[in-house]
A and B are shown apart, each in its own frame.
Chain A
Amino acid sequence: MSFSISLTVNGERRNVELQDPRTTLLDLLREHLRLTGTKKGCDRGQCGACTVLVDGRRINSCLALALSHDGADVLTIEGVADSADLHPVQAAFIAHDGFQCGFCTPGQIMSAIGLIQEGQTGDDPERVREGMSGNLCRCGAYRGITEAVLDARKSLAQAERRDAA
């Protein structure tokens, strides 16, 4: 039996035929849509490498059944840059050395975008670290990651104030 679902991924409507109900949202992105920026680390919800935004909220796509997300609006790392311009969080990760090997980085960046939108941290590094604790980095780039998130939060808030003015 096959299942037909439809999602918006990075602003584009995608119809997908699933042969297997076991397909996770992560496998749908990587195997069906060939969006391999979202990484499969542990595949058990422990590392955060598979983090994407679903309807504006960060979740672990490895623990989400694709069938449950029929109709969802998904944002992955491939969809965050504005054509040639990096997203401010991407730029901040480069500026602050927020990675070494880069495997966890798409998940870190998607988690950071979600964290900044949630608006609970202010400029408190302890709240940023706590809010990012669902993303492991085996290279240990945590210090740069925290600085990058704080910096990106500030620049996004400034941009928002400019837009409002």
Chain B
Amino acid sequence: MKVFDYARPRTIAEAIAAAAEPGSVYLAAGTNLLDLMKGGIARPDRVVDVTRLPGLDRIERLPDGGIRIGALVRNADLAQDPDFARTYPAVAEALLSGASAQLRNAATVGGNLLQRTRCGYFHDVASACNKRNPGSGCAARDGENRLHAVLGWSEACIATHPSDFCVPLVALDAVVEIEGRSGRREIALEDLHRLPGHTPELESALEPGDLIVAIRLPAEAAAFSAHARYLKLRERTSYAFAVVSAAAALDIEGGRIRQARIALGGVAPKPWRARAAEDVLTGSAADESGFRRAAAAALADARPSGDNAFKIELAKRIVLRALALAAAGTPEQLPALPASSFSSVPGAHHAA
């Protein structure tokens, strides 16, 4: 690990001033950043520790019915908040399907949004990687790429975004509050992460010094609480990143879908909102034929970036099954294996 200067600002203004300097990074829990620094993938000159900033660790119900989650709230604390889990069950399920209990106890929600891809070539400093070293090429393009992106990728980069948490959040129109050098602003989570195009090193809409201070869910997100699930296929039962995942949230009245929300994880360089699939379901019956058409629509633009054509069919099946699970209703208690495809599935076919 490269040596760095350590700063622990007392106020957000001090933090922004320190982090706006070239070579500076914010440090929250460090569950991703310290790993990257140990591997030489991140080599900051200065680490700005934001964990002591006041007022960023609260979960607040807003007067308009929405909820505001401070950026320093720990993943485990948000997932275990009974009111939050009841109102936004797919978000809680996604959180509990990510990493391990130890990491969830430490990791912050703000940091989760900004975690880096787990592409093996990004993590191997001896490999070509346009994201880590712009212009060096993409070793994944002709390498081991069965887990890489099938949506939103470019010739320059085929890495996927690893977050589970972001998938239901983007489905529920989450908003990110940012403090920066020119004051406070907010953007849709859907616009926080950029597609790689020719510049995969530019991963987000954040400017130097920008600090995520909170994530908000609008009041409308609560309309899906009775029919919302997250489903995540992994290469082992627990403690693994998604091969493919999906968040499905339905607002059902009298057997018909008033509105639907669908997003995918593990398939694209950002949490992938599937609006075309949502449109297919709006106003239709909550049944398998509609879910099947929605799943096809969600992957209509997908194409393999390597040895990963199987992920397209797999993603369709995961979307279909997540929709069937959501239609069956949010369970009273989360299953022992949150988001797992190995949990018993009432009303869904195994060979979807």
Contact = CB atoms under 8 A, between A and B. Distances in A.
Interface in B69-115: 76, 80, 99-103, 105-106
B102 A68 contact: no
A14 interface: no
B30 A44 contact: no
Contact of A24 (B5, B34, B102, B337): B34
B6 A3 contact: yes
A59 interface: yes
A130 B238 contact: yes
B219 interface: no
A64 B103 CA distance: 10
Contact of B4 (A22, A58, A63): A22
Nearest to B49: A68
State the main secondary structure of chain A at its contact with B.
mixed
Given A3-B6, A111-B101, A127-B336, A63 B35 contact: yes
Given A21-B6, A22-B3, A134-B239, A64 B102 contact: no
B199 interface: no
Interface residues of B, number: 33
A106 interface: no
B211 interface: no
Interface string B141-163: 00000000000000000000000
Contact of B105 (A22, A58, A130, A135): A58
A114 B51 CA distance: 22
Contacts of A126: 336-337
Interface in A91-138: 111, 114-115, 118, 120, 124, 126-127, 129-135
B3 A21 contact: yes
A144 interface: no
Contacts of A45: 31, 35, 102-103
B27 interface: yes
B47 interface: yes
B8 interface: yes
Interface in B214-249: 237-239
A29 B198 CA distance: 45
A2 B33 CA distance: 22
A58 B102 contact: yes
Given A51-B102, A60-B106, A133-B100, A21 B30 contact: no
B105 A59 contact: yes
A48 B3 contact: no
A129 B337 CA distance: 9
B1 interface: yes
Contact of B101 (A21, A44, A114): A114
B10 interface: no
A109 B216 CA distance: 37
B100 A134 contact: yes
A58 B337 CA distance: 20
Interface in B1-58: 1, 3-6, 8, 27, 29-31, 34-35, 37-39, 47, 49, 51
Nearest to A70: B8
A156 interface: no
A57 B27 contact: no
Given A48-B102, A126-B337, A133-B238, A20 B3 contact: yes
Nearest to B50: A68
A67 interface: yes
Contacts of A124: 336
A80 interface: no
Given A67-B49, A68-B51, A130-B238, A21 B100 contact: no
A58 B6 CA distance: 25
Contact of B38 (A43, A68, A130, A134): A43
A60 B239 CA distance: 14
A103 to B, nearest CB: 17
Contacts of B337: 126, 130
B12 to A, nearest CB: 17
B146 to A, nearest CB: 21
Interface of A: 3, 20-22, 24, 43-45, 48, 51, 57-60, 63-65, 67-68, 111, 114-115, 118, 120, 124, 126-127, 129-135
14 contacts: A21-B3, A21-B5, A22-B1, A43-B38, A51-B102, A57-B105, A59-B103, A59-B106, A63-B29, A63-B103, A64-B106, A67-B49, A126-B336, A134-B99
Given A63-B34, A64-B30, A133-B101, 4 more contacts: A45-B35, A63-B29, A65-B30, A115-B101
